[in-house]
A and B are shown apart, each in its own frame.
Chain A
Amino acid sequence: MTSWLESTARERVAGLLDAGSFTEFVPPEARLTSPHLAQLNQPAAFDDGVAVGRGMLNDEPVLIAAQEGAFMGGAVGEVHGAKITGLLERALAERIPVLLLLESGGVRLHEANAGLIAVSEIMRAILALRGAGVPVIVLNGGRVGVFGGMGIATCLCDLLIMSEDARLGLSGPEVIETTMGVEEFDAADRALVWRVTGGKNRAIMGEAVLVADDIAAFRAAIRLDPVPLDVEAEHALLGARLDRFGGMEDALDIWADLGIENPARVPLLDTDAFHAAIRGKTA
């Protein structure tokens, strides 16, 4: 077993793909660094925090991008975003499925508008792939989780695979607490943060497939089949969800409402026991 959480972006890529099959595009040797960070005297990375390339998964070709959470929390800058967008556009041209190994706090604030534009280009490229029936799969198991614009981008994809340690959200917990007050969301209450944004709740809400924190488990959960996109049905689903759960204070209330037994125990369950406990009781 190799922990996804503990691995670096490149270790995840190497562990996920068929052995030795990864070829990196614009590798660190190319030294394509952020022009913005240099102006601000901030440390740069030779890959700008993301590795992109091509490889094989069970002898099928895939394109793959992996964000490195240890560099600026995986935040998306201009170069970083362009590497992902370029990969997605190549996937459309060659009709090859894409694996996105995301770990990101969202837009890199140092790069302001350039970062925002980069994220919106990623979203547009994902939607183009959806429209063309080329699958895009997100794997989210890093310490940072996936937030901000990358959280939105994640929700545009065909399939999301998460571990319980990972989180998915729009605004981060601290941002919600700062803007809406601690009564709205207590970012220091780690258990609450994970109940709401963590992999288990995302699985119960029907947004993600939950796997153990093991690269092999992530690999085994990958399905390279496109999921048809029906925007109206998606909106109806989200509307119904808001009607049913919108007034609730905590994920625990939602889990109880779905008929999951002993909701308070859910965070303690290992992956197999969790799947047994929620079977037939997801949103």
Chain B
Amino acid sequence: MKEWNRLGQNRAARMDRAASLARGKLVAPGDTGALLARVIEPGDRVCIEGNNQKQADFLAKALAALDPADVRDLHIVQSVLALPSHLDVFEKGVASKLDFSFSGPQAARLARLLSSGQLRIGAIHTYLELFGRYFTDLTPRVSLVCAAAADRNGNLYTGGNTEDTPVIVEATAFRRGIVIAQVNEIVDTVPRVDIPGDWVDFVVQSPKPHYIEPLFTRDPAQISEIQVLMAMMAIKGIYAEYGVKRLNHGIGFDTAAIELLLPTYAESLGMRGRIATHWALNPHPALIPAIEAGFVESVHSFGSELGMEGYIRARPDVFFTGPDGSMRSNRALSQTAGLYACDMFIGSTLQIDLAGNSSTATLGRIAGFGGAPNMGSDARGRRHGTEPWLRAGREAGQDGFRGRKLVVQMVETFREHMAPAFVDRLDAWELAEQANLDLPPVMIYGDDVTHILTEEGIANLLLCRTPEEREQAIRGVAGYTPVGLARDKRAVENLRDRGVIRRPADIGIDPKLATRDLLAAKSMKDLVRASGGLYDPPAKFRSW
């Protein structure tokens, strides 16, 4: 007779082994290591909640402190590797295989561990791809998640940074896995239930509040006049041109400059209400002036941002908030919005090749991707029409009726230390060979990129009809980089005549007028003032 509940029986055995450590669902912090050793079995697939911002740091450290004699060969499935402990598990031999999305701060160490054979990488995913695999072939057996507070029944309150928690818990709990949560505090009643208690098996109160990174804060004082010029070009040459209302902004000073030019420059073009009304975006402090000026109707977020809590609470018409007043974010759903319900993604990159492929991977660093690849890709299954989407489809000369998402890569031709942003070959290819990856870690595929914007101009790749035209359009905005200098001048002038390449003058922008005076806020203090004192920036961003 076939056994149909082996997962349930295995779960019961694990729960039995751990029962003596728990009072109800509560486990003392000092027993965390013992708990993990009893519920995790060698070879398990384990998900550590590592988000873009919120980190299950206490549980991650406890896992890394386990004895490989008891627990080994774990397969870690985790969206973001942000902390040293996330890699300690591999160095110590507790885990051996990794499937992930992003490893920014740990990218160099990850590359070293890989080359020394201490871990194998399954794949580097986009967020939605990894979350999708949580529900197919990479379902976690044990998940270590993170919340702001829990009650004694295990109901979790995540606060503004819900991020990945619902996806991880849902995949684990409904396939008879085990969910362990670290929380900052145990309370009688949580302000709201983000994760129902019967999906959570154990709760540990962390000795210190979980680590959280203010990843999306950019100090306006550091925005350059080149970035102001590029923001003007983006607003007039793309946002206003296509009438883009629903969008996502990548992280960085380039897009912060756009956000700070909405209430000034875009307003002067009469664009309030006509562009940038609905956002899939973390609550960027740089968006405050645009919100206050009435540009923004709604913002749904992947995660929250430190210091924005009070402002968000006071603007419930704009942000998605719970009945308790605090933000409810959700990475999977906001990514879905970015993929299917936004008409434009605009963001920066480190390298662009002659086919328009763009990558943030550089030699010796396996950084993976953030939110860009899902949002910076055309959703080929999309069915609803909007003007910018339909126009982009017409420009691409696609047969018939389908539109295209606008995917804009915005880069200065030279990056820090005079490294050219335009290259003949992405470092990603060499990295793929070194790391034995199935495919190079390209962040945005060239055939998804519709526009490349530099200080020299905007290349509209939708209007290019051959790979040769595309190459010259890219060279034509690549400035004084070797790639730019190797342009065919006649071909580039021809593309400019056809409107494929547009210089600032072609769209009626005088670079001399691109000054920091256009920024709606020039400092962190200006942002606080714009928020009416509601924004409370973290210490590292304040000089007061």
Contacts and interface: CB of A to CB of B under 8 A. Distances in A.
B65 to A, nearest CB: 26
B539 A3 contact: no
Interface in B490-544: 516-517, 522, 539-544
B419 interface: no
A193 interface: yes
Contacts of B293: none
A194 interface: yes
A190 B221 contact: no
A268 interface: yes
B522 A190 contact: no
Contacts of B543: 165, 190-191, 193-194, 198, 267
Contacts of B541: 190
Interface in A74-94: none
Given A189-B539, A190-B539, A268 B516 contact: no
A268 B539 contact: no
B540 A188 contact: yes
Given A189-B539, A190-B539, A191-B539, A6 B522 contact: yes
A277 to B, nearest CB: 14
Contacts of B522: 3, 6
Contacts of B542: 190-191
A143 interface: yes
Nearest to A3: B522
Contacts of A165: 543
Contacts of A143: 221
A132 B335 CA distance: 71
A40 to B, nearest CB: 16
Q: Is the interface of B mostly helix, strand, loop or mixed?
A: helix
A189 B540 CA distance: 6
Contacts of B221: 143
A273 B542 CA distance: 20
Contacts of A188: 540
Interface in A19-65: none
- Interface size, A (range): 10 to 19
Nearest to A266: B544
- Interface size, B (range): 10 to 19
Contacts of B544: 191, 194, 267-268
A143 B543 CA distance: 12
Contacts of B539: 189-191
Contact of B540 (A190, A194, A198, A267): A190
Contacts of B540: 188-190
A6 B521 CA distance: 12
A165 B522 CA distance: 13
Interface in A121-169: 143, 165
B228 to A, nearest CB: 12
Contacts of A191: 539, 542-544
The CB with the most chain A CB atoms within 10 A, among B516, B541, B543, is that of B543
Contacts of B516: 6
A196 to B, nearest CB: 11
Contacts of A267: 543-544
A194 B540 CA distance: 12
A191 B542 CA distance: 6
A33 B16 CA distance: 78
Contacts of A194: 543-544
A97 to B, nearest CB: 31
A189 B544 CA distance: 10
Interface string A167-198: 00000000000000000000011110110001
Nearest to A192: B539
A195 to B, nearest CB: 8
B525 to A, nearest CB: 9
B125 to A, nearest CB: 33
B314 to A, nearest CB: 19
Interface in B211-240: 221
A6 B519 CA distance: 12
A267 B543 CA distance: 8
Nearest to B519: A6
Given A143-B221, A191-B542, 6 more contacts: A3-B522, A6-B516, A191-B539, A191-B544, A198-B543, A267-B543
Interface of B: 221, 516-517, 522, 539-544
Interface of A: 3, 6, 143, 165, 188-191, 193-194, 198, 267-268
The 8 closest A-B pairs by CB, nearest first: A267-B544, A194-B543, A190-B543, A191-B542, A191-B544, A6-B516, A268-B544, A191-B539
18 contacts: A6-B516, A6-B517, A143-B221, A188-B540, A189-B539, A189-B540, A190-B539, A190-B540, A190-B541, A190-B542, A191-B542, A191-B543, A193-B543, A194-B543, A194-B544, A198-B543, A267-B544, A268-B544
